[in-house]
Structure 1
Amino acid sequence: MKVTILGCYSATPRTFTNPTSQVLEINNHIFLIDCGEGTQVELRRNKVKFSRINHIFISHLHGDHFFGLVGLVSTFRMLNRENPLHIYGPKGIKEAITLQLKLSNSWTDYPLHFHELTNTDSELVFEDDKVIVKTIPLQHRIYCNGFLFQEKLGDRKLLISKVVNYDIDKAYYKSIKKGKDVVLPDGSVIPNTELTDDPAPAKSYAFCSDTRYDEDKISLLNDVTVLYHESTFLESHKHLCQRTGHSTAIEAATIAKKANAKNLILGHYSTRYGNIEHFREEASTVFENVVIGDDGKVFEF
């Protein structure tokens, strides 16, 4: 599982910082999460293949999280994209994007599918044979969702040395990896546990952007491999959180600790601060495995 931070600062783009956008690579998928201004430039800078992006998840309709989307949609068209593109986001995102495409006469030549979200409870929004994606309802100034990406358990690991000892035909290997026992010609049964090991633990990634401190979402985050949680303010500006709908670094760390997350990535820093290392220092007083997200950083788990 690999996370590439394209941008992780709040409010407006600056010369050396970008608003929120990131790429998650998990189980052979590449998901784009949020799409602030400059996203497509950062995709190129980080050598992410545009053609592999088939699903884009938008948390909410504040500009620093989706103003780069129409430009990326248009660029896909100019690159002669043929694959369908699926966009998941709050109700209104279809109108916002299609109006711009209409007025600029830039309709896509590829299938463009919008999945508009209105539910205030967690819901399943994507599933295939490898990954499921659920929403994480967040408490912001407007309707907002985070997203939980979860691998499905893979096949069991075949113990070749054990299989060879029983002279089992290769035709049965696939069913064995799926958990089936083996029946030998003499009728005896070899339990699957003698021929396989457990699959690698399934990884998970939770993206929690733009939210007040909210313990209601902890049940959705339990034991998550990696939690990205906004940390707009340091404790010195905690009084701004309720009004703006944001969190401090310590509040993000508290959520990670209570959810038993394995790792925490901080981001969405207010640009009033000169040194983002202070966010890690404050969060570390509550939660140990915390790292600073920053534009261009890549994390592999």
Structure 2
Amino acid sequence: ENFQKVGAFKFRGAFNAVASLKEEELKKGVATHSSGNHAAALALSAKMHGVKAYIVMPHTAPAIKKKAVEGYGAEIVFSEPTLESRQETLNKVVEETGAHFVPPFNDVRIIAGQATAAKELIEETDKLNFIIAPVGGGGLLSGTSLSAKYFGSNIKVIGAEPKGADDAFRSIRDNKIYLSVNPQTICDGLLTSLGDITFEVIKENVHEIITVKEETIIEAMRMIWERMKIIIEPSSAVVLAVVLENKEKFQNRNVGLILSGGNVDLEKLPWNK
């Protein structure tokens, strides 16, 4: 998905959500809060539909992601990096503009859009034993699990998550949603907590969530850059990190990895200490 429009899978869900809106709803534009890829995805989707996009972003968002959103013609409104601040700022924007809120992940239209990535993977090979997808807010993992269920044959779906931001792992283990509090990881796309919709879909359809160490994520990211000659962001590398830390589990199995995006800040590569 690093070769997808906006360089991430998020375009699938955002485009599907905007395309599903009635003409009347589209007139006042669309709005969301996002630290990155969903922001760019909604900005481009809005542009392709000829409508305005308002994006609430934390001022800490990576420079590459701010630049992309502006490049697609969206209006950025900055907030503090807390979910509370992002939500408050978004509410204000929606109130003032009348724009239609398009959530980053906790929405059936978004999940259906993200599901098409795994659907395409399954259509390309019918021999998969596992599909591993990253998990932040859970839109991609939810969609992946639904595609495996309805289009695949006995495929186990695994969520990949950094140990330093393991709220999804704990949420599923304890059967209650934990908020992401002070996450410590380079995976800037996986800092969000599950939503009530994604939580239920994941609980029902995902085989397990596996957490991995930061050093393995960096090792996996470097390996893909070096050996495959493709640029991925740390949030994508987490899926290969799961395999690297659990080699016996996946030995002699056909494993599909969803590389979720490639929007990495080249000034801050994790191996350039």
- Do they superpose with TM above 0.5? no
Q: Which has the higher strand share?
A: 1
TM-score category, normalised to shorter length: 0.3 to 0.5
Q: TM-score, normalised by structure 2?
A: 0.33
